[in-house]
Amino acid sequence: MDHSCHTLVLLIVSFGCLHQTTDAIHMEKLANRKMCADRYCSYVISVAKVLEDYIASDCRFINLKKGKMIYVYSKFKPVEGTGLFWLGSVYGDHYVDQMGIIGYFPSNHVNETHIFEKKTIEMPTADMDFFCA
């Protein structure tokens, strides 16, 4: 490998890192409208059981493991060309470890087993909904 080739590789690597940093700040909006149990999306809408594993693609999402239970806090209104995502947290065997881990997952990977709030309110999503570091 000659010298110019080394420089090119370095450039590509550093561009890749810069790009990732930018992604963490300016997240693409997954939807424009969401459904929640309350204004602050702080109440659990439902409990759902994971039917299929899901690997989070970035920090906005959470991993799902088949058989685990999920608390659902909000549901996006579907956008054409994308899957339908819900916001939730895993109710795990290690409950304390899981607390605070909240993120999006594809709703077709779970099955709601218990609905707490049949009446939800619809509101616009905010940029903050898609923020993660």
Ligand X SMILES: *[C@@H]1O[C@H](CO)[C@@H](O)[C@H](O)[C@H]1NC(C)=O
Binding region for ligand X (CB under 6 A): 51, 111, 113
Q: Which is nearer to ligand X, 6 or 66 (CB)?
A: 66
Task: Give the dihedral of Cα atoms 58, 99, 126, 23; nearest 10 deg.
Answer: -20
Least distance to ligand X, CB of residue 87, Å:
20
Q: Which is nearer to ligand X, 59 or 115 (CB)?
A: 115
Q: Which is nearer to ligand X, 24 or 51 (CB)?
A: 51
Least distance to ligand X, CB of residue 29, Å:
29
Contact 109, 51 (CB under 8 A): yes
Least distance to ligand X, CB of residue 48, Å:
9
36 has which bridge partners? Answer: 74, 121
**How far is the CA of 106 from the CAs of 2, 13, 61, 101, in angstroms?**
47, 31, 9, 16
